[in-house]
Amino acid sequence: MSDGKSVWVTVKGNQGTPFLQETGKPCYCATQTVEMRDGFPSEEGSDIGTLMPGEVVEVIEGPKKESVSNALRARGKASKDGAVGWFTVQNKQGQTCAEPGRSCYVCKAVGALTDNMQVKQCQVVRKLERGETLIVLEGPVEDESAGVTRIHARATKDGREGWVTTKGNAGSLYAEESGRQYTITKAVSLESDFDHDVSTTIRTLEEQESIELLDAPREEQSEPLLRLHCRKVSDGKVGWLTLNDKLKSWFPNYKCIKEVALYDNLEEGKAQSLRMLSVGEILELIEGPKPDPATQSLRMKGRALKDSAIGWVTVCSKDGEHLLDSVPSKLRQLHVSP
């Protein structure tokens, strides 16, 4: 399972010594939403969907160790919409996701974007507002005839280019350098926290987007990842998952952790209630789990060990509330009536 190699193995020795014990095929279920990708390296390939809480996968290959280096993360402000968050400059596989770009300035006072470097010969392209961000294309340079300092810049607000006075002839500051712009070279998530594993995604930064650096890049310590090549039980999709605390071993027996109804149909809206299942009852899986087409809650068809009643029951609601929990077969046996 770890590497897909086919070999012959001795199950029992010539003295009757057992070397292997029969076991079920390893399966996992999601405790939270989990991303599935179509490539083994965690940062490569494309996103092919997610596992919703409670969904089950069977392992095709793995766990397979992925050696990773420390990622380089920085905090920035996207020029496109002002969104602020953490982004990956260099990922765990050593791939560059963002490169240092041009320096940027912030307007400290109302100014003008003009079509010419020479103040006395220029025309106003448009007015600049206080707080606008400018990406430097050229300069700073001195306009000696006017005694001012100018930069050739692009306004991040609308992409218009022109010349801007940063310092007046009396020393007044109209625009001040605020840091450095980074250019996204590989689509990457803008996230809420420095720690990628606990972050939520704000949005995706696209290739060639500009982002203003707010906190200097620093290393995020990384442990080797264990990856699983899996098949989703619900729809048969195949992809790679990272084995972490969002996945747990799965067994085809479920215990009720909340009172829930047993129905005669997969689609709850079209079904009739057979009876209520009480907390602690055990069900043996017959089919599923799979989403209810109407509500997208995750449901399974099972047999209640208490009275052999068969029906459909919600494993996890569309809001992520768990009503049933997968349990080992040993626990199932403890609940079988004599």
Query: In sequence order, what DSSP letters do the residues of 278-326 get, joined into one string?
Result: PTT-EEEEEEEEEE-TTT--EEEEEEETTT--EEEEEEE-TT--B-EEE
Query: In sequence order, what DSSP letters do the residues of 59-120 get, joined into one string?
Result: EEEEEEEE----EEEEEEEETTT--EEEEEEE-TTS-B-EEEEEEEEEESS-EEEES-SSGG
pTM of the model: 0.58
- CA–CA gap between residue 124 and residue 17 (Å, rounded): 91
CA dihedral 332, 29, 5, 237 (to 10 degrees): 130
Sorted by sequence, the CB contacts under 8 Å of residue 176 that are 6+ apart come out as 105, 106, 108, 166
- Same-domain pairing of 139 and 173: yes
- CA–CA gap between residue 261 and residue 277 (Å, rounded): 6
- Same-domain pairing of 269 and 280: yes
**Which of 173, 205, 220 is the last residue before a domain boundary?**
220
Q: Is 84 domain-assigned?
A: yes
pLDDT at 330: 64
pLDDT at 318: 86
pLDDT at 202: 93
- Same-domain pairing of 230 and 284: no
C-alpha separations of 103 from 129, 311, 312 in Å? 19, 64, 61
Number of structural domains the chain divides into? 4
- Same-domain pairing of 133 and 198: no
Residue of 252, 89, 116, 296 whose CA lies nearest to 183 = 89
- Same-domain pairing of 85 and 211: yes
Q: Is 138 domain-assigned?
A: yes
- Same-domain pairing of 150 and 199: no
Residue 113 near residue 155 (C-beta atoms within 8 A)? yes
Residues spanned by the domain of 264: 251-334
pLDDT at 338: 35
Q: Is 133 domain-assigned?
A: yes
Chain CA centroid to CA 21, Å: 38
- Same-domain pairing of 155 and 282: no
Q: Is 33 domain-assigned?
A: yes
- CA–CA gap between residue 161 and residue 137 (Å, rounded): 9
Residue pointed to by tokens 């260099």: 90
- Same-domain pairing of 90 and 192: yes
Eight-state DSSP code of residue 196 = G
- Same-domain pairing of 240 and 263: no
pLDDT at 337: 40
- Interstrand relation of 175-184 and 210-220 (parallel, antiparallel or unpaired): antiparallel
- Same-domain pairing of 166 and 205: no
Q: Is 16 domain-assigned?
A: no
Q: Is 3 domain-assigned?
A: no
- Same-domain pairing of 201 and 269: no
Q: Is 22 domain-assigned?
A: no
Structural tokens at position 252 = 């085809």
- Same-domain pairing of 154 and 272: no
Q: Is 14 domain-assigned?
A: no
Give pLDDT < 50 ranges for the chain.
332-338
- CA–CA gap between residue 169 and residue 155 (Å, rounded): 23
Residue 289 near residue 299 (C-beta atoms within 8 A)? yes
- CA–CA gap between residue 50 and residue 31 (Å, rounded): 12
What CATH number is associated with residue 322?
2.30.30.40
